[in-house]
């Protein structure tokens, strides 16, 4: 088959692709809780039937990885990554439909994991099986990384694969995570966890204003100053200014929140957890808060520490300490890397509108590949509203477009006419 025939085939057989998404949704794979065995077994059966050689690997029997491949030894080598775990469905009464029914409507597929990211996984599996079955002569190879531990940090999944040589010598990587169909994700923020610890002195609650030192009140004097961190701006190169501007414009337009672009080039903070005290009638001698701090491109831990010292001083609270747990720096791929251009061209041809390489504020497994120096993008179907929330869905049309983009871009990168 030619590239054109392959794309036509996807349209003709879209029902198979939709069915594949629906079946993946019906296999519960919430993370945390439980094992990912069921969904991994399903993918292995699919690969087996498609005649694609695969191997199960990993470091945790409940969170296995699958590596598989097609193509030639030489030529362009692309990794395609997808995770099959999903965030928990949460309070079922908040859903308008059963999150695990995989129901297919006229325009959508419904359920937990449709957007994040079983539709992306289905598109990738469908693309691979088609290229394999038609013996498409690829000048290069596709290395599939199916992982089952993205939603809890990736330590048993992508991180492990990258640390154990599975990503070596790759020329590019596609992570089929949800993006809008208007963008190709080319960079993400880094992050660290800040723990603030206030120490006080216990006393009887009836004498709270006279005796003891209240750790909760101490901490509460610091918290209003935490927003000082959000004044820290990223350090972008001249070359990155255009994608930065585009990303900010798109973020504000798509989310309809003026000023949201600032989340891309500035530090953001979220005081997400607070705990302190023992009983209402005891002056609390300890209180702590955990703050999620996200770092834009170029901002290092040292810059955060500097401002934290200023915050401590400004708040005047004594007996408060902080701890930083550094997770990762921001990461990015050049906006004109071959994989970016190939996806941009194919997506634009299919959609008939501009598709923009953009930075985002979230983070994902793309980080692990970028830290190895592999040009990496994210592109996948999604309805962003339901991701990590209730009523997750995906547009059928986007699922089909994404699968066709995968095939089209692979054909271009591997010289299939
Ligand atoms: Zn995801």
- Residue ranges and CATH numbers for the domains of the chain are 3-188+331-413 (3.40.630.10), 190-249+257-328 (3.30.70.360)
Residue with tokens 């999604």, as numbered in its chain: 382
User: What pLDDT, in 10s, does the model give residues 10-55?
Assistant: 999 999 999 999 999 999 999 997 789 999 999 999 999 999 999 9
Q: What is the biggest distance separating any 2 CA atoms in the chain, rounded to whole angstroms?
A: 84
**Residue among 212, 374, 186, 370 nearest 277 (CA):** 212
Cα 305 to ligand 1 centre (Å): 30
Cα 113 to ligand 1 centre (Å): 8
For β-strands 331-332 and 183-188, DSSP reports them as: antiparallel
pLDDT of residue 208: 93
Cα 388 to ligand 1 centre (Å): 9
Strand locations in 215-295 (E): 268-276, 286-295
3-state secondary structure of 195: strand
Cα 177 to ligand 1 centre (Å): 5
Cα 9 to ligand 1 centre (Å): 28
Angstrom distance (rounded) from CA 150 to CA 267: 23
For the chain, which ranges sit under pLDDT 70?
Answer: none
Cα 389 to ligand 1 centre (Å): 13
Cα 175 to ligand 1 centre (Å): 9
DSSP state of 59: S
pLDDT of residue 395: 97
Cα 178 to ligand 1 centre (Å): 7
Averaged pLDDT score across all residues of the chain: 96
Terminal-to-terminal C-alpha distance of the chain: 9
For 172, list phi and psi in degrees, rounded to 5. -165, 165
Cα 363 to ligand 1 centre (Å): 9
Which residues, in sequence order, are CB contacts of 270 under 8 Å at separation 6+? 291, 292
Cα 84 to ligand 1 centre (Å): 9
pLDDT of residue 315: 87
Cα 116 to ligand 1 centre (Å): 5
Question: How far, in Å, are 176, 300, 381, 394, 414 from residue 123 at the CA level?
Answer: 8, 37, 9, 13, 19
Cα 228 to ligand 1 centre (Å): 30
Give 131-164 as a DSSP string.
Answer: HHHTT---SEEEEEEEES-STT-STTTHHHHHHT
As beta bridge partners, residue 322 has 196
Angstrom distance (rounded) from CA 69 to CA 78: 10
- Helix then strand count (H, E) for the chain reads 12, 15
Cα 151 to ligand 1 centre (Å): 7
Cα 118 to ligand 1 centre (Å): 9
pLDDT of residue 90: 94
**Residue among 327, 325, 405 nearest 367 (CA):** 327
């Amino acid at each position: 088959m030619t590239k054109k025939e392959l794309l036509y085939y996807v349209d003709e057989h879209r029902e198979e692709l939709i069915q594949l998404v629906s079946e993946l949704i019906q296999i519960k794979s919430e993370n945390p809780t439980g094992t990912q065995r069921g969904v991994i077994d399903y993918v292995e059966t699919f690969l087996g039937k498609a005649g694609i050689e695969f191997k199960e690997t990993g470091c945790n029997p409940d969170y296995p990885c699958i590596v598989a491949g097609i193509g030639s030894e030489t030529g362009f080598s692309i990794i395609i990554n997808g995770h099959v775990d999903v965030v928990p469905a949460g309070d079922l009464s908040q859903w308008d439909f059963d999150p695990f029914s995989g129901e297919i409507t006229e325009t959508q597929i419904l359920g937990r994991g449709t957007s994040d990211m079983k539709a992306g996984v289905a598109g990738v599996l469908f693309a691979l099986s088609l290229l394999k079955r038609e013996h498409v002569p690829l000048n290069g190879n596709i290395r599939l990384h199916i992982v089952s531990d993205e939603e809890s940090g990736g330590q048993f999944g992508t991180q492990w694969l990258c640390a154990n040589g599975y990503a070596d010598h790759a020329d590019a990587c596609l992570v089929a995570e949800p993006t809008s169909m208007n963008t190709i994700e080319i960079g993400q923020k880094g992050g660290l966890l800040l723990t603030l610890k206030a120490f006080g002195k216990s006393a009887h609650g009836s004498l709270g204003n006279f005796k003891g030192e209240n750790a909760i009140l101490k901490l509460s004097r610091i918290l209003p100053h935490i927003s000082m961190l959000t004044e820290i701006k990223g350090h972008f190169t001249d070359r990155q200014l255009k994608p930065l501007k585009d990303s900010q414009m798109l973020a504000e337009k798509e989310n309809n929140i003026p000023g949201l672009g600032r989340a891309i080039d500035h530090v953001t903070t979220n005081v997400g957890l607070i705990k302190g005290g023992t009983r209402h009638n005891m002056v609390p001698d300890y209180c702590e808060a955990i703050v999620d701090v996200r770092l834009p491109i170029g901002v290092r831990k040292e810059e955060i520490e500097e401002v934290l010292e200023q915050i401590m001083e400004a708040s005047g609270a004594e007996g408060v300490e902080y701890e930083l747990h550094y997770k990762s720096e921001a990461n990015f791929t050049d906006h004109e890397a071959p994989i970016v251009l190939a996806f941009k061209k194919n997506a634009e041809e299919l959609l008939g509108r501009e598709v923009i390489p953009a930075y985002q504020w979230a983070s994902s497994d793309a980080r692990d590949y970028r830290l190895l120096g592999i040009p990496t993008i994210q592109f996948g179907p999604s309805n962003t509203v339901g991701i990590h929330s209730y009523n997750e869905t995906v547009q059928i049309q986007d699922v089909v477009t994404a699968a066709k983009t995968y095939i089209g871009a692979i054909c271009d990168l591997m010289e299939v006419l």
